[in-house]
Amino acid sequence: MEKGIKMDKTQLVTMSPLVLAYLGDTVYESYIREYLIRDNCNKKVNDLHKTAIKYSNAKAQASIIHGMMEEFTEEETRIYKRGRNQKSHTSPKNADIIDYKCATGFEALVGYLYLKEDKERLEYIVYKGISIIESNM
């Protein structure tokens, strides 16, 4: 996909939720890494990685969903539920299955907002999510 060419709405809403989650995982992780680096620019990479895991594991992402679900639009809720309910051929290694499914839905939503190029909404959800996670730490 060339930069600057938006996907049309039909492509976005019919895209596999697991493909959206695949992209959303990377997008979310990038936001988390940048957030941590801005606060801890002199930290060792291994320490940054360990901290990033606290923000990006399934339990943390599930807590974002539980803390924000009422703020989602109908469209966002639909995308989240498609991702959450999608049959995955992998099983979580270090997560409860329910948290894992919620995290997949969250990542699908992040991927969707990214491809939709709704940066304002994406950043609102990511940074509100960070505050939810930090309030639970």
Q: Which residues are the active-site residues?
A: 25
Q: How far apart are CA 15 and CA 69, in angstroms?
A: 22
pLDDT in tens, 28-43: 999 999 999 988 778 8
Question: Is 118's pLDDT higher than 90?
Answer: yes
**What number is the average pLDDT over the span 53-78?**
95
7: its two tokens: 């996907």
Question: Is 91's pLDDT higher than 70?
Answer: no
What are the structural domain ranges in the chain?
16-136
**What number is the average pLDDT over the span 59-64?**
96
CATH superfamily of this structure's domain 16-136: Ribonuclease III domain (1.10.1520.10)
Question: Is 56's pLDDT higher than 60?
Answer: yes
**What number is the average pLDDT over the span 54-61?**
94
Q: What is the pLDDT of residue 92?
A: 66
Q: Are 19 and 110 in contact (CB under 8 A)?
A: no
**What number is the average pLDDT over the span 63-90?**
91
Cα-to-chain-centroid distance, residue 76: 12
pLDDT bin (cut points 50, 70, 90) of residue 5 is low
Q: Specify the residue for token string 């950043």.
A: 123
Higher pLDDT, 14 or 133: 133
Closest CA to 129 of 7, 93, 50, 113: 113
Q: How many CA atoms lie within 13 A of 53 on its CB side?
A: 7
Q: Are 107 and 95 in contact (CB under 8 A)?
A: no
What is the reported pTM? 0.90
Q: What is the pLDDT of residue 1?
A: 45
Amino acid at 129: G
86: its two tokens: 């999608």
